[in-house]
């Protein structure tokens, strides 16, 4: 029964629960960032570079079977090896945005968590009278 109680203690610790919540929220947040990159940012970047669609940037590395369309999805379905650097660019932009947002969140949390300055040390308690008398006796015996 000792192992079960240890597992229960481990599973309900604050850090494990925080991690679980973070993973769940991170997954959902990742989908939002994917959408922002794919639906908002990459079309703008593509427009700046002349109506360029990054998802269509690839190099065919093998033979294309006859009758296969030359878009990326059709080539992948046909099993043709492709070097899809456009997808990589999209994923890299996605990562940079996500990393920046997480950095800003951690920075804000650290700013909010700053501890109050430590309280000044309490004044020492006055020395009891019997201790003072014993010190006087000790000092007079030394002379």
Could you tell me if residue 60 is inside a domain?
yes
**How many other C-beta atoms lie within 10 A of the C-beta of residue 37?**
22
Residue 137 lies in a domain: no
Cβ proximity of 21 and 14 under 8 Å: no
- Residue count (the chain): 143
Span 30-69, pLDDT tens digits:
888 878 877 888 788 778 877 666 777 888 888 888 888 8
Listed residue (91, 106, 114) closest to 41, CA to CA: 91
* Residue 51 pLDDT: 64
- Is there a domain that residue 131 lies in? no
Please check whether residue 37 is in contact with residue 94, taking contact to mean a CB–CB distance below 8 angstroms.
yes
96, part of any domain: yes
pLDDT at 1: 62
Domain that includes residue 102, residue range: 2-118
Domain assignment present for residue 97? The answer is: yes
Residue 32 in any domain: the answer is yes
Say if 55 falls within a structural domain. Answer: yes
The pTM (predicted TM-score) of the whole model is: 0.53
Residue 80 included in any domain = yes
Beta carbons within 8 Å of 72's beta carbon, 6+ residues apart: 55, 56, 58, 82, 84, 86, 87
Which residue(s) pair with 60 in the sheet? 82
The pLDDT value recorded for residue 46 is 76
Q: For the chain, how many structural domains are there in total? A: 1
- Alpha helix (H) ranges present in the chain? 2-11, 14-35, 42-48, 72-77, 85-112, 129-142
What CATH number did the domain enclosing 9 receive? 1.10.1200.120
Contacts of 57 (CB under 8 A, 6+ apart): 84, 85, 86, 89
Per-residue confidence of the chain (143 residues) as pLDDT tens digits?
A: 678 887 777 767 667 777 777 888 888 888 888 788 778 887 887 788 776 667 778 888 888 888 888 888 888 888 889 898 888 887 887 788 878 888 888 888 788 877 666 777 788 888 889 988 889 999 999 87
């Amino acid at each position: 029964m000792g192992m079960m109680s240890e597992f229960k203690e481990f599973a309900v610790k604050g850090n494990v629960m925080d991690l679980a919540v973070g993973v769940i929220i991170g997954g959902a947040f990742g989908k939002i960032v994917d959408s922002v990159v794919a639906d908002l940012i990459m079309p703008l970047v593509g427009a700046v570079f002349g109506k360029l669609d990054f998802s269509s940037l690839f190099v065919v590395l093998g033979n294309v079977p006859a009758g296969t369309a030359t878009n990326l999805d059709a080539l992948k379905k046909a099993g043709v090896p492709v070097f899809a650097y456009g997808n990589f660019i999209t994923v890299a932009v996605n990562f940079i945005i996500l990393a920046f947002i997480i950095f800003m969140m951690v920075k804000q949390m650290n700013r909010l968590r700053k501890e109050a300055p430590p309280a000044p040390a309490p004044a020492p308690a006055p020395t009891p009278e019997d201790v003072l008398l014993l010190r006087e006796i000790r000092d007079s015996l030394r002379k």
